[in-house]
Amino acid sequence: MNDLDLLLLVSIGTTAVLFAFGTWRWAGALGTLLYALQLALLAVMRPELPLASGIGFEVLGYRLQWSLSGLGWFFAIITVASALFSAWFAAGEWGQHRRNLRLLHGGLALNVTAMLILLASDDLISLFIGWELVSWASYLAMVQRGGPAMDAAYRYLVYALAGALAVLVAIAMIAAQSPALDFGSVRVWFASAGNGTIWTVMLLTMAGFGVKMGLLPLHLWQPAAYSESPGPIAAFLGAISSRMGLFAIIVVLAQLIGLERLGNLPVAFSFWNANEFWAWLAALTLIVPTFIALTQNDARMLLAWHGIGQGGYMLLGILIATPLGVSGGLMHVINYACYQAALFLAVTAVAHRTGTTDLDHLGGLINRMPLTYVTMLFCIIGLAGLPPMNGFVSKWMIYKALLDAQMPLLFVAAVIGTLGTILSVYKLIHNTFLGQLRLEHAQVNEVPISMWLPMILLALIVFITGWMPGLFLDLVDEAVVAIGITQLPHHLGGVDLGNGGLDMLWIVGVLLAAIGIGAIVYFLGNRSVRVGQFDNYAGGQILTADVPYQYSHQFYAGLLRVIQPWMRGGMAWGERALVSGADFLGGAMSGLYRAAPAGAYLLLAVLAALAVTLL
């Protein structure tokens, strides 16, 4: 039994233990420890990558085997770490007065197990099995709150099921032609397959895996499904769940078909190739949901919409197919997981104290919940991709790679997406923490240490890895090499490039110095008078504390007036059209059976058959 077998065993054991003892007081803490153990196992097995598991089956002539490559290992680290922080957050006060803790902890562990099985898959069938396990495990995580959560999860599952079937058809297509389905053989098969075949397989698999990733236009299920799940679960799902789709897409596009082949695959009747096609879809995925996020009035929905958009950056980076682009795209996965998990946890913390995530009913919590504020501040800077946080580094790498690869239009698209992100994350922090404190929140306190410590740790990781991106770039290397791309030369502070690199040690140093000088000026020259948060007056008139004076409803009304005409909900319309089409056909078919002049159908069919065959 090697380390991978041990890891899978521990993970399955974690699931079993947490389902068995989920209602126990210390279940959350136990889960945290078990995830830490899994993380340690992952760290230990790093020198052995790629590591093949001793477990394997042979069914109907197909060998099912599992092996963790550097790519899977990279995603596995993020998965287990996200689960660790989520479980930790839920372990203390947050989980104490909740029902269904068994489902919460067990469901989380089941998700981790399913994801590890997916990440370790080494042939198309084990990939598909892992894929379905992940789909159903995340369904279990989504439905927990009942009511609208169940509707959202149902919508997700219908998408996921249809997508999985598309993947199954693609696998069957390969199985009908290729002698074996292990990744090695499939790679050989792809090398000899014609363009049309590759396009068919690629469209089918992208339709399936794109559902999970939220690739446009398959993203509609995602925001509600994530934000309706319980807080720590939302953090976990938001951080990593969609990235399973990205993982599978990377396996197909980069590992099996090969990015080089992708660039030589023409799109019929156009000057495009497959690579550009997917890159533009990624760009759309990055822009559209980001601007939809801008219009959201619920903090969790806002974050979930961003999750879709950020996935676009990752795919875009990988499709650039240069070491810098691929490293940037993959690094964005881990960076994003850190700040997205922390942001969901921060929003959950606010909801825990105030009972709402409605951005129209929050505000001014900065003094009441300072640590949560710091978490959110650090992480929105990361999400917006500004220095000195880690999100800046990966986005910079993607921008730079786009420019180096002479894709200026995609660069502009990426920048437009970032602009939308900056605007909407400011809305998030402003409506939650800045502005006027609401009277009903006057007595709100900071969350207990069991909740703020994991959040703050994540925020610190976001900062430290922004300062020293080399820490994450080391991990990214494993994945980059596994895809077959040359390793990107890098150091603790950033990357070295022939035409100018990035050294965050220096940038952060300058930034901190500037902040220091600003602080000195501020404290020495401070002439301001501190007033209480309820000490409002306007136009010389004193207002009572219950009059909302500084509030923010319809944030960015002016901007939205400009962009709203473009937001016609075309994709939602398409979805409704599909549903009503199915309803219509359903009605027609059940009418056909219900009318049931049974003998008449038989006679007609016989007549028709005789006419067709004899005439």
Partner 1 sequence: MNASVLMIALPLLAAFLLPLTGPLARWVGPFAAALNIALGISLWQTVAQEGPSVVVMGGFAAPLGIVFRVDTLAVLFATALAALVLILWPRTSADPRRESALLLILLAAGCGLAFSGDLFNLFVFYELIAVASYGLVAASRERLAAAAGLRYLVLSALGSAFALLGIGLVYALAGTLNLADLSRHADALNSPLGLAAFALMLLGFGVKAELFPVNAWVAEVYSTATARTTALLAGGVSKLALLIVLHLVLLVYAQPAALSLLLTLGLLSIVSGQFAGYRAADLPRMLAYSSIAQLGMIAAAFSVSGEAGVLAGLALALHHLIVKPALFLVGDGWPKCVDSLAGLGRAEPWRAALFVLLALSLLGIPPLPGFWAKLLLLKALLGMGEPAWNLAAAVVLLGTAIEGAYLLRVLQTLFRGTTNAKPATFGGALPAGVLGVALLLVMLAATPVGGALQRAAQQAADVPAYVADTLGGSPQ
| Residue from 19, 21, 24, 154 binding partner 1 (CB under 8 A) | 154
Q: How far is the CB of 117 from partner 1 (least distance, A)?
A: 10
Contact between 532 and partner 1 by CB under 8 A: the answer reads no
Which lies closer to partner 1 via its Cβ, residue 131 or residue 305? Answer: 131
State the nearest-atom distance from the C-beta of 171 to partner 1, in Å: 7
Tell me: does residue 583 bind partner 1 (CB under 8 A).
yes
Query: Contact between 194 and partner 1 (CB under 8 A)?
Result: no
Query: Does 601 interact with partner 1 (rule: CB under 8 A)?
Result: yes
Q: How far apart are CA 340 and CA 32, in angstroms?
A: 19
Helix ranges, 178-273 (H):
183-192, 195-213, 222-227, 231-236, 242-250, 259-263
575 binds partner 1 (CB under 8 A): no
- Pick the closer one to partner 1 by CB: 157 or 252: 157
Closest to partner 1 by CB, 112 or 125: 125
Q: Does 587 bind partner 1 (CB under 8 A)?
A: yes
Kindly give the interhelix angle for 449-467 and 323-354, rounded to the nearest 10 degrees. Answer: 160
Identify whether 454 is preceded by a cis peptide bond (ω within 30 of 0). no
51 forms bridges with which residues in the sheet? 68
Q: Are 63 and 57 in contact (CB under 8 A)?
A: yes
DSSP annotation of 298 = B
Among 39, 90, 157, 369, which residue sits at the site for partner 1 (rule: CB under 8 A)? 157
Out of 36, 52, 173, 457, the only residue in the binding site for partner 1 (CB under 8 A) is: 173
Interface region with partner 1, contact rule CB under 8 A, candidates 8-16, 124-132, 394-402, 422-430? 124-132
Q: Which is nearer to partner 1, 211 or 369 (CB)?
A: 211
Q: CA–CA distance from 103 to each of 233, 243, 573 (Å)? A: 11, 23, 35
User: How far, in Å, are 263, 308, 340, 475, 583 from residue 579 at the CA level?
Assistant: 36, 23, 32, 44, 6
Helix (H, G, I), strand (E, B) or coil at 597: coil
What's the alpha-carbon Rg for the chain, to the nearest Å?
Answer: 26
Instruction: Write phi, then psi, for 603 (nearest 5 degrees).
Output: -65, -45
- The distance of closest approach from Cβ of residue 300 to partner 1 in the complex, given in angstroms and rounded to an integer, is 22
Sheet holding 490-491, edge to edge: 490-491, 494-495, 502-503
* 412 is a site residue for partner 1 (CB under 8 A): no
Instruction: Say whether residue 54 binds partner 1 (CB under 8 A).
Output: no
Strand bridging mode 51-59 / 62-68: antiparallel
Q: Which is nearer to partner 1, 121 or 418 (CB)?
A: 121
Binding segment for partner 1 among 3-11, 172-180, 385-393, 442-450 (CB under 8 A)? 172-180
Task: Kindly state the helix (H) or strand (E) to which residue 310 belongs, with its residue range.
Answer: helix 299-320
Contact 92, 448 (CB under 8 A): yes
Rounded distance between C-alpha atoms, residue 511 and residue 489, angstroms: 25
- Give the integer Cα–Cα distance in Å for 59 and 19: 30
The answer to whether the bond into 408 is cis (omega within 30° of 0) is no
Is there binding between residue 596 and partner 1 (CB under 8 A)?
A: yes
Taking the complex as a whole, the smallest distance from the CB of residue 60 to partner 1 amounts, in Å, to: 4
Nearer CB in complex with partner 1: 567/578 = 578
What span, in angstroms and rounded, lies between the C-alpha atoms of 380 and 223? 18
192 binds partner 1 per the rule CB under 8 A: no
The answer to whether the CB of 232 falls within 8 A of the CB of 345 is yes
CB of 200 to partner 1, least distance (A): 9
Among 47, 60, 179, 271, contact with partner 1 (rule: CB under 8 A): 60
Determine if 58 is a binding residue for partner 1 (CB under 8 A): yes
- Tell me how far apart the alpha carbons of residues 364 and 342 are, in angstroms, rounded to a whole number: 20
* Shortest CB 126 distance to partner 1, Å: 9
Q: Which CB sits closer to partner 1, 32 or 135?
A: 135
Size of the site for partner 1 (CB under 8 A): 54
Element (H, E) at 63: strand 62-68
In Å, how far from its chain's centre is CA 604? 54
Residue range at the interface with partner 1 (CB under 8 A); choices 132-140, 322-330, 369-377, 526-534:
132-140
Among 5, 93, 132, 503, binds partner 1 (CB under 8 A): 132
* Main-chain dihedrals φ then ψ at residue 59, nearest 5 degrees: -125, 130
Q: Which is nearer to partner 1, 157 or 246 (CB)?
A: 157
Residue range at the interface with partner 1 (CB under 8 A); choices 54-62, 324-332, 390-398, 434-442: 54-62
For position 577 contacting partner 1 by CB under 8 A, the verdict is no
Contact call for residue 172 and partner 1 (CB under 8 A): yes
Point out which residues bind partner 1 (CB under 8 A).
Answer: 57-61, 125, 128-129, 132-133, 136, 143, 146, 150, 154, 157-158, 161-162, 165-166, 168-169, 171-173, 175-176, 582-583, 585-590, 592-594, 596-599, 601-606, 609-610, 612-614
